[in-house]
Amino acid sequence: MHSRANSIDVIDDFFSAEQLGELLDVVQWLPAYYVNRQDHVKDAPKYDIHWTYPLVERDASLMTDREPELRALDETLRPVIDVWDRLQERLGAPAMLYECMMTANPYGMEGRPHYDCPDPNKRSNHITVLVYCNREWDLAWGGETVMFDQEGEIARAVLPKPGRISILRGDPYHAARGVSRYCLVDRRVLTYKAWLR
C-alpha cells in the first residue's frame, strides 16, 4: 500500500553558509507567543497549544493569498521572504501562500499528530514547508518531525538539523515530537503553508 508519508522531500543543501546565518539571525530574535489556537481558529482541536510568532496570519478558509503581506514585512525580515522566493523554484508548480509562522517548542511542549488542512478532499494540493532554524542540534535532543502512514505507523522521521528543510506534499498526518530534557533551547521552525495552483 502506498504511504502518503512518501511525499516528503528533505533538503540539506538549500542554503549557503551566509544565507543560513542571515536567516538564523532573524529567526532567533523573533518573540514567541503562547497560543491556544482554539481561541481564534474555528474547529481547532482542544489542545492546539504552542509558542508561535505569526509572520502572516491565516484566515479560517485557508484560501486567502497572504504573499502580499509576506512581501510587506519589515526589511529586517527579508531572509524570510527570500526563502519563500527560492522555495517556489523547488516546488515544481506555482504556489499560493496562506500562512507563514515561526514555532518555538521548548521541553515540555508536545506536538500532537495532525493534518494542516481540515478538508481531506483538498489535501492533494496542499504543501507545508518546514525550515529548521536552530544553530545546532544534538541527536539526544529529540524534536523529530514524524509522519504517519495510513495504518498509523511512523513512516518517516526527520531530525531538525540546522538549515534542513522538509517539504510535506499532500498534507501527510504528522507531528512535531517534543524535545528531551537535555535540550536547553527551544526547537525553532519556520513554516510556510500553501496550495499548489
For 62-71, the pLDDT digits (tens) are: 999 999 999 9
Q: Tell which wins on pLDDT, 4 or 133.
A: 133
For residue 18, the one-letter residue type is E
Confidence of residue 1 (pLDDT cuts 50, 70, 90): very low
Quote the Cα angle for 77-98-148, to 5°: 105
Give the strand pairing for 145-148 and 126-132: unpaired
- The H or E element that residue 68 is part of is helix 67-71
> What homologous superfamily is domain 4-196 in, according to CATH?
q2cbj1_9rhob like domain (2.60.120.620)
Mean predicted confidence (pLDDT) in 132-137: 97
**pLDDT recorded at residue 35:** 76
Residue 28 burial class via C-beta count within 10 angstroms: exposed 0-12, middle 13-18, buried 19 and up: middle
Packing angle of the helix pair 78-91, 17-29 (nearest 10 deg): 120
- In whole angstroms, give the CA distance from residue 80 to residue 10: 19
Instruction: Say yes or no to pLDDT of 40 above 60.
Output: no
Instruction: Say yes or no to pLDDT of 107 above 70.
Output: yes
pTM for this entry? 0.92
Instruction: Say yes or no to pLDDT of 47 above 70.
Output: no
Q: Tell which wins on pLDDT, 45 or 76.
A: 76
